[in-house]
Each structure stands twice: as C-alpha cells, then as structure tokens.
Amino acid sequence: MSANEALLIIDYTNDFVATDGALTCGYPGQKIAGEIIRLADEMLKSGGWVILPTDVHTPNDPYHPESKLFPPHNVRNTWGREFYGPLDQWFKKNKNNAQVYMYDKTRYSSFAGTDLDLRLRERGIDSLYLTGVCTDICVLHTAVDAYNLNYQMTIHKDAVAALTDEGQQWALGHFEHVLGAKIK
C-alpha cells in the first residue's frame, strides 16, 4: 500500500452489522471487523488514505427508492448510523488525521452524487481497496463505478460481508471475472 492508494470502508455501521441492526449482515459482518481495522492501520502507516463512505437516510423519504425496498436504516443521528464496534473506536481515534475522510452517501455507490472521484484524482489515487458491507449491494455498486472510472481495485474477501452467502459468492466472482478486480 502507498500514497496513491485508498482503502474504502463502505457502510460499516450498526444498522448493517450489529446483531440488532435494522438491515444487518449479522455475524458475517461482525467477524470482519478485525481485518478492516488491520487494513486501515496498514494503509495509514504506508501513507495511503482511509475513506469511509457511509449511507445516510431520512425516515420514510417518499422520494428515495430504498424506502420501497428496505426498512428504515442508517437514519442520521441514530445509533444505527454509528460505526460498528471496533471501527467506531478506530474512527474516533483517527478522525482528525488528514489521511482519513468520512462522508455521507445516499445511494448504493460511493461515487453516486458525491465528490469521491474528484477527491481521489486530486490526491493522485488510482488504486482502491474495497471493504465493508454489503458485498453484493453497496460494495458492488461502488466497484462497478470504480471500474467505469478506470480505478484499479482489490477486494479483500475477509473484509466484506453480504446479507446472504449466495450474494457474497456471486459478488466476489463478479468482481474478479467481470470487473477485473484482484481478490485477496
């Protein structure tokens, strides 16, 4: 890992990971916490960037397409939107580091409606390491956009989790065989 690389920790919140989260991956999401923290520490040590694109919603928003698909989740200023367990502690410790950046996103992709691509290009970042949840939803849509924007990608299979094992396996295969991502 180096300065032209960034680790994206996507949507690693209580609602997506905690046992009583509103739309949780449960244990598969919980067991990846240590690997996410290890990768974040490694990225910072090497001079790279740690970016935390984090889903946010308004309850019962009639204009947001997810309101029709999923129960309310990641509502601003709630426990569900807070980072899960060890990541919450890690972020509090590192949030003032200039190489750490957390921002709101309102769609599956970390690029949709955000300035992520601009921020990456300003910093000369051309390689992304994707971690977080859900592998077959937000991580996948972020990867598709990253592919279309010509970023090199590595997916850490021990640092992503999905709602189902079938979704996890399908997404990992898609990353490798369709998007040309390295799977580690």
In a domain? residue 164: no
Q: CA 97 from chain center: how many Å?
A: 19
In a domain? residue 153: no
Both tokens of 132, joined, read 């977080």
In a domain? residue 16: yes
Kindly report the CATH number assigned to the domain that includes residue 97. 3.40.50.850
**DSSP code string of 144-167:** HHHHHTT-EEEEEEEEEE-SSHHH
Residue written as token pair 């799977």: 183
Confidence (pLDDT) at 115:
96
In a domain? residue 62: yes
Confidence (pLDDT) at 73:
81
Work out whether strand 182-183 and strand 100-105 pair parallel, antiparallel, or are unpaired: unpaired
In a domain? residue 158: no
CA distance 42 to 83: 19
Confidence (pLDDT) at 2:
64
Confidence (pLDDT) at 70:
73
In a domain? residue 178: no
Q: How many domains does the chain have?
A: 1
In a domain? residue 10: yes
Query: What tens-digit pLDDT sequence spans the chain (184 residues)?
Result: 566 999 999 999 999 999 999 989 999 999 999 999 999 999 999 999 999 999 998 887 777 777 777 777 888 899 999 999 999 999 999 999 999 999 999 999 999 999 999 999 999 999 999 999 999 999 999 999 999 999 999 999 999 999 999 999 999 999 999 999 999 9
Full-model pTM: 0.94
Torsion of the alpha carbons at 43, 156, 32 and 50, rounded to the nearest 10: 30
In a domain? residue 106: yes
Which domain does 75 fall in, by range? 5-129
Confidence (pLDDT) at 1:
57
